Amino acid sequence: MSGEGSGRQAIRRLAPGRLVIASHNAGKVREIRELLGPYGIEPVSAAELELPEPEETGTTFVANAELKAMQAADLSGLPALADDSGLCVDALGGEPGIFSARWAGPGKNFDTAMRLVEDRLAAIDPAPARDAHFVCALALAWPDGHVEWFEGRVEGRLVWPPRGDNGFGYDAMFQPHGHELTFGEMDPAEKHGMSHRADAFRQLVENVLPVSDQ
C-alpha cells in the first residue's frame, strides 16, 4: 500500500474501464462522475452495485477514504475511488471535521448541520472569526490492496444565512477566499475549478489517471 500527496509520482496508474465510486452520497457521486468524464473511466457508484457503507472508524480524512475505497474494491473486484471530506471551522477547534456528515444526523439533513455550526459559533463570546476550510481526501484502491491517496484543501469563511441551492453539504454557508459567492451559489463548473475536491482531483489526474484524449 502507498499513500501520496502531490510530491511523488504514484507507483501505479489506473487503466481505462470501470471504476467504483465508493459513496452513497448522490451529490458527491455526481461531482466525481463529472470530474472523471474526460479520462476514459466508466464510473459506477457503490449504491448502484448495492455495496454496504462501511463504518468510518478512521481518525483522519485519509484513513476514512482508504477504508471506504478498500472495502469497495474488495467486494466488487474493481478499482474503487473513495472521497472523505468535511468542513473544519477554526473557532470550533477544527470541528465538525471528519464528523461533518454525522453532524447532519442519520437523515443527512445538512440544513440542521449548518444551523448547528452557526449555533456553536454564536455561543462563543466575544464573536469569533469565521475562518474555515474544506478538506478532501481521495483514495484509489485496487482489489489486491494497493492504495494511492491525495488530499486537497480550500480556505474560506462562513456566512449566515446560507446562500444558494447548488452544491451539497455545507456549501451554502462556505464562501471561498477571493470570491463573492458561496459554493452553494456558484455554477458547478466554477466550483469544480477551485474546490477542495478539485485540488485533490488534480493530484489524482497528474499521478494515476490515463491521459485524456481531449
Which residues have a catalytic role annotated?
Answer: 84
β-bridge mates for residue 84, sequence order: 137
The cell for 172 is 451554502
β-bridge mates for residue 88, sequence order: 96, 133
3-state secondary structure of 93: coil
Helix axes 196-207, 26-36, angle to 10 degrees: 40
CB 50 within 8 A of CB 74: no
CB 199 within 8 A of CB 177: no
Would you list the DSSP string of 107-153? Answer: TT-HHHHHHHHHHHHHTSSSPPP-EEEEEEEEEEE-TTS-EEEEEEE
CB 206 within 8 A of CB 138: no
CB 172 within 8 A of CB 114: yes
